[in-house]
Amino acid sequence: MVSNERVGRSLLRQEVSERIKRYILDNRLRPGSPLPTENELCAALGASRSSVREAIKTLDALDIVEVRHGHGTYVGGLSLSALVEGLTFRGLLSPNDDFAVLSELVDVRELFERGNAAAIISALDGPHLDTLDDLASSMGTAVDADRVVADRRFHALLVNPLGNELVSQLTDAFWDVFTAVAPRLGLTPSDQDPVRLHKAIVHAARAGDSLAFADAVVAHYAPIRTRVAAARHAQSIRN
């Protein structure tokens, strides 16, 4: 049974964490900005040193703050590392959750690219398209590991010109989860032609054809869906 004292400490840590976040917002601090010293935070927040330390640990794990030992505490990069760890752990808890996580990741990644077809096409310039074309070509001769790297760079560059930091971070986060979870499921490399599938996306973008672009994105993710479904079926047979 959880003691009342432990519950009280947890609630106090959460309250102080919220106060620190409010302090960051009220003072318009940005990622990399230094926070006051521990003593100064205690005075500013009206909290004990132990409560501030526990709250800082919690916020550090979420990348809301960054503790630089010997230098102080700073506003963190506000990355999606906590989301990546949470989704990965959820996926690793059981095979069924693994497959659910992967299927949902594919859905969201496709939605980002297909739903932003017109904006992506408008944002991509000649050099971007040339780089995308080169990355697609490199997948034809690359070994599996290098192909994954090229594939990741391709999709990161595809959404990068949108200038939407959240979309870019989520795209990277989904790749992190996918590459962590997929190998544990025994997913085999696609036997589809990655060069053709990726170049179709680039070709549609060069032509300024958002409908063809959306169709190419759907075609690109179809083999991934097939691999996940096949691995899921194989797992169900083994069980």
| Cα angle value 104/108/25 (rounded, 5°) | 110
Domain extent for 36: 4-75
- Cα end-to-end distance, the chain, whole Å: 35
- 70: domain CATH number is 1.10.10.10
Tell me the pLDDT of the chain averaged across its residues.
82
Rounded to whole angstroms, the Cα distance separating 13 from 23 reads: 15
Which tokens belong to 175? 């790749």
Question: Across the strands, what pairs with 65?
Answer: 75
Same domain, 144 and 177: yes
CA nearest to 102, candidates 224, 192, 191: 224
Same domain, 99 and 53: no
Residues 6+ apart with CB under 8 A from 135: 150, 153, 154, 157, 198
Same domain, 42 and 131: no
Same domain, 97 and 208: yes
| pLDDT score, position 7 | 37
| pLDDT score, position 9 | 54
Q: Show which of 51, 75, 99 is a domain's final residue.
A: 75
Burial annotation 31-57 (CB, 10 A radius, 16+ → b, else e): eeeebbeeeebbeebebeeebbbbbbe
Q: Show which of 46, 75, 104 is a domain's final residue.
A: 75
| pLDDT score, position 78 | 67
| pLDDT score, position 88 | 59
Q: What count of other Cβ atoms lies within 10 Å of the Cβ of residue 187?
A: 19
| pLDDT score, position 5 | 46
Same domain, 166 and 212: yes
- 124: domain CATH number is 1.20.120.530
Same domain, 103 and 56: no
| pLDDT score, position 36 | 92
pLDDT along the chain (239 residues), means of 10: 45 82 89 91 90 89 85 81 61 60 82 93 95 93 81 92 83 78 65 86 97 95 84 72
| pLDDT score, position 118 | 95
Same domain, 44 and 87: no
Same domain, 65 and 93: no
| pLDDT score, position 6 | 47
Residues 6+ apart with CB under 8 A from 32: 74, 75, 77
Alpha carbon 178 to chain centroid, angstroms:
9
Rounded to whole angstroms, the Cα distance separating 39 from 145 reads: 49
| Count of domains for the chain | 2
Rounded to whole angstroms, the Cα distance separating 17 from 14 reads: 5
Which tokens belong to 33? 């900005």
Q: Show which of 33, 57, 75 is a domain's final residue.
A: 75
Same domain, 65 and 160: no
Residue 161 gets which letter from DSSP?
G
Same domain, 86 and 179: yes
Same domain, 88 and 181: yes
Same domain, 71 and 105: no
| pLDDT score, position 4 | 41
Element holding 64 (H helix, E strand):
none
